[in-house]
Structure 1
C-alpha cells in the first residue's frame, strides 16, 4: 500500500495541471446537473404544492351571469365544487400602473381553490372595500397590504388587505387578467360567473369539460381553463432552463468521461516502462489497475464533493431565478436524495469510462517488447537534386521510418509529402502533419474526444445566437408589433385610430379583436384573433404556408395544430358563444403567446360571420429607433385613462437567465477540451523520445522539432473543429426547433451562429492548441541526448 501511495503521489506531482483540470471539469459538470435538478423542482413542485394545499379545482368555467351553474354539482366524476362566484372584468390602477383584472365576489374563504395567504389577512366585513390580490398581480403592481387601488372612470377606491397564492393561471399583462377577491358588496354589477370543478380523477378532465358543455350548452360557456394549462404556464421557462442545464450537463459528463478515459490510456502508453517496473517488483495486474482507477476516482470524488458544497452554500445567493430555485429546492422532499445520487452517479460514470483503460494497464507485460526494426526502403530513382535538398529529403525519410515503423503505418512517406518537401515546405510542418495522420485509429479517437465538447459549444453558441435574435429582431419570432393597446367603452374605432396615428413614432396601426373559442369536442379554450384588415394586413411571422388573404383563411400556431391534430391546409370549426367559426388554415405562424394555441385571421373575416364585432385592441408597429415605453406613456396620457397600453410580450425577456447559463456551460466545456488537449500533447511528446534522436541526427534544430509537435496538435484541433461544426450546427438547429415545438411556438426559431463567429472559434481552437503545445514541446526538444537515450533504453 505504501508503494502504491508513493507512486500515485509522484504521478500527481508530475501531472498537477491535468489533475487540476480533471477536478475542475468534474466540479463544473456536477454543479450543472445539481442546478438543473433544482430548476426542475422549482418549475414543478411549487405549483404542485400550492395546488395541493389550496385543494385546487381541476377545471374553471367562465359563463354569463344568468347561467344556472347548480346543474354541475351532480356531474359524474365531480368531487367538489368551488363557487359559483359572481365576477366582473375591470381595470385597477395604483402608482400610475394599470392592470386588467377579474374581480371575484367571495363571501367566505373557499374550501376548494382556497387562496393561500402570504401577506395580510382574508376578507373582513369590517372592511367592505378591502380586496385580496393574487401574488403575481401584486408583484406586477408593486402593491402590498395597505395600498389603495382606484377604478378608472370611477371614484371608487379599494384597499388591499391581503396577498395570496393561487394555483390558477397567473397574471400576464395584455394576455391574462389578474385575480382579485372581494366581498359581494364590492362587486355591485357582476357581468359573469365562474365555477371550479374538483375531479375525483384528474385524467378525466377533458371528459368532465365535455359533460359540462353538454349540460350548460356551448353558448353559455365563455372560457375554459384546466389544471394542465395552469401547471404548464407556471413551469414556463424554468423548465426550459432545467432542460438546457440537464442536456448540457449530461453531454459534458459524457465528454469528461471520454477525456478521463483518454488521459489514462495516454498515460499508460507513456508509462509502459514504469508499469513493467511495478510488475517486476511484485505488483499484480489487479494492483496496477487499482492504482490508475483509484487515482482518477479520487479526482472525480473530490470534484463532485466540491461542486455539492459550493452549490449548497453559495447557490442560494445567485441572483434571479437560479438563486430562488436553489433556496426552494432545499425544502423539497427529494433534495437529500438528489444531492447524494447526482454526484455519486457522476463518479460511477467516470469510474466506468476509466475502467477499460485501467484494465489495459494491467495487461502490460513485465518486460516491454521491442519495436520492430525499420524496413529497407524501396522506390524508383528520383531526378537529380542539390546535395542539400537530397540530404534533407533522405534524412527526413529516414527519420519518418524511425518515427513510424512500416508494420504499423501506411508507409514512411507519401507522394504528397515528397512533393511538399520538393516544393520547399518546411520539414517541421511536413513531419507534424505526418505525425497527426500516421496512426489513423489513434488520431481519429483523439479527434472524436476533442470534437465532443466542441459540438456542445457550437450548440451553446446557437442557443446564444437565437436569444440575441429574439432581442434584436422580435418581428422574426412572432412579435412584429411593439405595443398593444386595449380600449374601453366610450371611444369609437375612428377616434382611437386618429389618436394612435397622431403620434409621430407610430408607423402602423392594426385593429383587432381577441376572443376565447371552444375547440371541436369542446374540451379546451383557444384564442381566436382577428388582426388587421384586407387593405392593411397584419405582418404575421410565417414558418410555412402563406398569410390569410381570402375570406375564411387563417394562420395557426404550432400549439393549436398539435391540440387539434390538424395540418396546414385543413379546415377547423370552433365556437365563440353561440356563433360557429369555420376557418381554413393556410399557414403556420410563429406564436410565442398562449403556448401557441392561437388561430388568427383578418378582422374583416370575423365581421363577415358576426357584423357586431368591433375592434377592442390595436397592435402598433413603431418607427426604427422609437422608445416603446415613451410612446406608451404619451398614448396613455393622450387617451385620458381610456387606453391601456402595454409593451408587446417578448419571450426573450423571460429567457434572459439562459445567457448566464450558456456562458457557464461554455466555460465548463472549454475546460474539458483543455483536458483533452493536454492529454493529446502529453501523449505526442512521450512517444517522441525515440524520434528525437533521429530528428537531431538529420540536423533539425530544436525550433523545428518544436514545430513538429505544434503542427501535429494544431492539425488534430482543426480536424476536431471541422467535425464539430459539421455536426454541431445541424444538431443545434434540430434541438432548438424541437424545444420550440414542445413549447407550442413551433419550429423555425432556431438560428445558427454567424460564420464569422464559427471562424473565430476555429481559429481560437487551432491557435490555442498550438500555443498550449509550445512550452512542453520546447522543453522536450531541448532535452539532452543523454537523457533521451536513458528514456528510451
Structure 2
C-alpha cells in the first residue's frame, strides 16, 4: 500500500498539469451542471418559484363565519398562518366578460405568509375604498390591467365599481371558469361596503413545518373545528398539479443535456486514462518486474484518477452549494431559490453520485488495460507500429499533394478502431451543442416568426359600446393591419361529458382566417374545423374524423380537416368559422377581433396607434406567446454550451496526446526522408484536425436530427403539436464545425512543437 501511494504521488508530481486540468474540468462540469439545474428549476417551475418567494401556505381552509379559525394556528405541525381573512363569493365583470371571484378582506400591508407577489401596479393604498388587486390568471381572463375599472357584485348586493390597483401572482389554484374562482383582494372597509348584509366566511392559510404532513394537519383541523364548520380545503399539491404541464420542454432539455454531459465527461476521462496508460507502458512493466500484481497496477490507476475525479466533483458541488447564491444576476437568484425548495438536496446528491458511478465505470474499464501490460518491456520496433502505407496515400504523395495533409490523414485514420473511438468521444459534446443550438433557433422562431407556430394574429381587440361596423372601420384604418377577423370562444363538452374544450369560431366563410396548418388543410366549408394536437389526443381522433361535442346543451358536429399548431390551452382547441357557430346559435356575436399585421409591422406600435384613434374605447392586447415563459432557458443553454465546450477541450487534449505519442515513434523516419521540423509539426496538427473535422460532421448531422425529433416530440406531448422544431441555420453549423477544427488545430500546435524538439535519445526511448 505504501509503495502504491508513493508511486501515485510521484506520478502526480510528474504530471501536475494533466492532474490540475482533469481536476478543473471535472469541477467545472459539476458546477455548470448544478447551475444549469438551478436555472432550469427557476425557469421551468414557476409555481414553485412563486410558492418559495411568497412563503406560500401548504393548506387553505375556508370556514364558516363563526368558526374559530385562529385556533388552527396552534395545531402541531403548523409553522405560521396567513389570515384568517373575511371572504365572500362575487361576480366581476368588464366589457361583457364575467368571472366568479373570491373577495378577500386584507390590510394595507400584504400578509407575511402566502404574500401576493405584485407583478404590475401596486398593493392597496392605505385608506382607499375603491381599489382592488387581482390574481394574475383572473386579470388575464377579464382582460384587465392596473388602471382599469371592474364591476363587482357580491350576492344580493349592489354592484360596485373598483379601480384595479395591481395584479399579483399567488401559489394557489388559478382561476378556471366554472370550477375555481379567481382571487380579489380589497381592504376591510371596501369589503364591508360591498357586502354589508351578505353572508360571508373566513379563509386561512397554514404553512407547515413538514409539507408531507398535509393530510395529518387537515385531519386535525377538521377535528378541531368540526366538519360542519369547514366549507372548502385546497392543498399545495392541488395547486402544483394544476400549474404544471407547460414546461416539460425545459425538463426534457435538462435530462438530455445532463445525461449527455455526464456521458461525454466520462468518455473524455476514460480516453485520458487510456492515453496515459499507453504513454506509461515502460513504467508499468518496471512495476510488474519488481513485484506489483496486475490487480495492484489496476488499483493504482483507478485510485489516482478516481481520486482526482471525486475531488473535482466534490469541489464543484461545494462551490455551488456555498457560493452559488453569491453569483450576480439571475444565476445567484436561481441558486438562492433553488436551495429553498423542498428536497433540493437530493438533486446535488444525485448528480454527484451519478457522476462518480459513471466516471468510476469508465475509468475502471480503461485501467483494466494496465493490468494486461507484460512485465517485460517489448521493443516496439520489433512489432509493426503501423500499417503499411496504402496505395491511396502513395498516389496522393505522387501527385505532389502537401505531405503534411497526406501523412496527417494517414496518421489520423491508420488505426480505424482507435480513430472511431476518438471521433465518437469528440462527437458527443458537438452533438449536444447542436441540439442546444436547435433549441435556441426554435425559440427565436417563436419570437421572430410567430405566425409559423400558430400565432398568426399579433393583436386581439375588444370594444366596449362600439358597434361592429364602426369597430371594423377603426381597426382596418391602420395601414399595418392586413386583416381583421371576428372571433368568439365558447366552452364545449367532449363526448362522455368528462371534460371541457375550447370551441373557437374565427373568421368567416367569405374571409377565412389564415390558420397555421401542420397537417391536412385549412377549413373552407361549412362544419369544417381545424384541431390542436391536445384535442386530437383527448378524443383519440385524427385528421379526417367527425367529432361530436355539446355546446350549451346543443350538439355540435364538426369535420376535422386539418391539424394546427395550437399554443393555447395545451392544444385542446378546435377552430372553425364564426358562421358555423352562428348556424346553431344565431344570437352569437363576436366577442373579439383578431388582427393580422403586415410583415415587419411592430405590434406594440400598431396597438398604440389604434388605441389613440379609438380614444380609449378599445382594449387591444398582444397575443400571448409561449416564448415569454421559455426565454429564461437561454442562459441555461449558454451555460450548457460552455460545459460541453470544456468537455470537448478535455477530449481534444487526449486526442492530441495520443497523436503526439504515435508520431514520436516516427520522428526518425520522418526526418530521414527529408521532412523539416515544421513539416513534422504540420503532420501532427493535421492529424488532430482531421479527427476534429470527422467528429464535427458526425456530431452536427446527428445533432440536427436529434434536435428535430426531441423538440417535435415535446411539442406533440404538450399539445402544441409537432412541426415547431427549427434546425439551426447552415451557416451556424458551418461556424460550429469550423470552430471545432480551428480550436483543435490551435491547441495541438504547442504539444507538436514540444514533441519535435525532443532529443533523439528521448525519441529512441519511446520505442521501448
Category of TM-score, reference length = shorter chain: 0.7 to 0.9
CA change 1:228–1:301 in 2 (3 A) is: closer
Q: Structure 1 residues 326, 581: closer, same or farther in 2, change over 3 A?
A: farther
Contact kept in structure 1, 2:151 and 2:162, CA below 8 Å: no
- Segment of structure 1 superposing worse, 775-784 or 179-188: 179-188
1:771–1:171 Cα change, 3 Å: farther
1:641 shift after superposition: 3.6
Matches of 2:24 and 2:712, distance apart in 1 = 37
The SS at the match of 1:575 is strand
Secondary structure in structure 1 of the residue aligned to 2:658: helix
SS in 2 for 1:688: helix
Could you give the per-residue CA deviations for residues 661-682 of structure 1, whole angstroms, max 9, x where no partner exists? Answer: 1111111111111111110110
Deviation at 1:133, TM superposition (A): 3.0
Deviation (angstroms), 1:325:
4.6
Residue by residue, what CA displacement relative to the aligned partner does 1:688-710 show, whole Å, maximum 9, x if unpaired? 22211111122211111112111
Matches within 5 A, 1:474-485: 474-485=450-461
Deviation at 1:747, TM superposition (A): 0.2
* Equivalent position to 2:543, from 558, 568, 573: 568
- What residue in structure 1 maps to residue 722 of structure 2? 747
Q: Is the 8 A contact 2:529 2:561 kept in 1?
A: yes
1:631 matched to 2:606? The reply is yes
What are the superposed Cα offsets for residues 157-193 of structure 1, whole Å, 9 maximum, x if unpaired? Answer: 4486996835222699xxx9964256486389x9xxx
Once the two structures are TM-superposed, the CA of residue 499 in structure 1 deviates from its matched residue by 1.0
Unaligned runs of 5+ in 1: 58-81, 93-99, 110-114, 191-224, 375-401
Residue in 2 that maps onto 1:280: 289
d(CA) in 1 for partners of 2:419, 2:531: 50
RMSD, aligned CA: 4.0
- 1:6 is aligned to 2:5: no
**Structure 2 matches for 1:284-295, cutoff 5 A?**
284-295=293-304
Structure 1 window deviating more from structure 2 (422-431 vs 741-750): it is 422-431
User: 2:378 corresponds to which residue?
Assistant: 369
- Contact kept, 8 Å, 2:397 with 2:406, in 1: the verdict is yes
Pair 1:270 & 2:279 matched? yes
Asked if the contact 2:380/2:767 (under 8 Å) is kept, the reply is: no
Task: State the match for 1:444 in structure 2.
Answer: 420
Name the residue aligned to 1:554: 529
Match of residue 71 from structure 2: none
Check 1:440–1:355 CA distance in 2 against 1; reply closer, same or farther (3 A cut): same
Contact 2:135 / 2:184 at 8 angstroms: preserved in 1? yes
Query: Alpha-carbon deviation of 1:732?
Result: 0.8
Closer, same or farther in 2 for the Cα pair 1:284/1:37, shift >3 Å? Answer: farther
2:581: which partner in 1? Answer: 606
Q: Distance in 2 between matches of 1:236 and 1:762?
A: 36
Shift of 1:233: 6.1
Displacement of 1:544 in angstroms is 0.3
Are positions 1:53 and 2:59 aligned together? Answer: yes
Structure 1 residues 766 and 329: CA distance shift in structure 2, 3 A:
closer
Equivalent residue, structure 1, for 2:448: 472
SS of the residue 2:523 aligns to: coil
Aligned equivalent of 1:356: 365
In the superposition, relative to structure 1, how do residues 296 and 784 fare at CA in structure 2: closer, same or farther (>3 Å)? same
* 8 Å contact kept, 1:276–1:366: yes
How many aligned residue pairs are there? Answer: 684
Please give the per-residue CA displacement for 1:513-537, whole angstroms capped at 9, x wherever unaligned. 1122121122222111111112211
1:196 aligned residue:
none
**Partners in 2 of 1:329 and 1:282 — Cα distance?**
53
CA 1:270–1:671: 2 relative to 1, 3 Å: same
Relative distance call for 1:484 and 1:55 in structure 2 (3 A) is same
Residue in structure 1 matched with residue 560 of structure 2 by the alignment: 585
2:411 paired with 1:435: yes
Deviations 1:327-386 (A, max 9, x none): 333233312333333213212221121111112212222212233647xxxxxxxxxxxx
Tell me if the contact between 2:101 and 2:181 (Cα under 8 Å) persists in the aligned partners.
no
Match of residue 743, structure 2, among 745, 768, 777:
768
Match of 2:194 among 186, 189, 194: 186
Larger CA deviation: 423-432 vs 7-16:
7-16
Change (3 A) 1:735 1:428: same
**Counterparts in 2 of 1:152 and 1:621: CA distance versus 1, 3 Å:** farther
Mark the CA change 1:259 to 1:697 in structure 2 (over 3 Å): closer, same or farther. same
- Return the offset for 1:588: 0.4
- Distance apart, 1:426 and its partner CA: 2.4
Listed one character per residue, the Cα deviations across residues 740-774 of structure 1 (whole Å, up to 9, x for unaligned) are: 11221110000111112112212222222122211
Counterpart CA distance in 2 for 1:366 and 1:723 is 40
Unmatched 5+ stretches in structure 2:
64-85, 107-112, 153-158, 199-233
SS across alignment from 2:484: strand
Q: Displacement of 1:436 after TM fit?
A: 1.5
SS at match of 2:89: strand
TM-score (norm 1): 0.78
Q: Is the 1:90–1:102 Cα contact (8 Å) retained in structure 2?
A: no
Verify the 8 A CA contact 1:47 1:234 in the aligned structure 2.
Answer: no
Distance 1:11 1:561, change over 3 A: farther
Partners of 2:473 and 2:683 in 1: CA distance = 75
Query: Is the CA contact (8 Å cut-off) linking 2:692 and 2:740 kept in structure 1?
Result: yes
Q: How does 1:229-244 map to 2 (within 5 A)?
A: 231=240, 234-235=243-244, 238-244=247-253
Query: 2:101: which partner in 1?
Result: 104
Q: How far apart, in 1, do the equivalents of 2:594 and 2:11 lie?
A: 69
Q: Is the 8 A contact 1:30 1:304 kept in 2?
A: no
1:167 aligned residue (164, 172, 181): 172
Calculate the TM-score normalised by the size of structure 2.
0.80
Displacement of 1:568 in angstroms is 0.8
**Hey, what's the Cα distance between the residues in 2 that align with 1:119 and 1:523?**
34
Note the 1:94-493 alignment, pairs <5 A. Answer: 102=99, 104=101, 106=103, 116-118=114-116, 131=132, 133-134=134-135, 150-151=149-150, 156-158=161-163, 165=170, 167-169=172-174, 179-180=183-184, 183=191, 186=194, 231=240, 234-235=243-244, 238-316=247-325, 325-371=334-380, 373=382, 403-404=385-386, 409=387, 412-488=388-464, 490-493=465-468
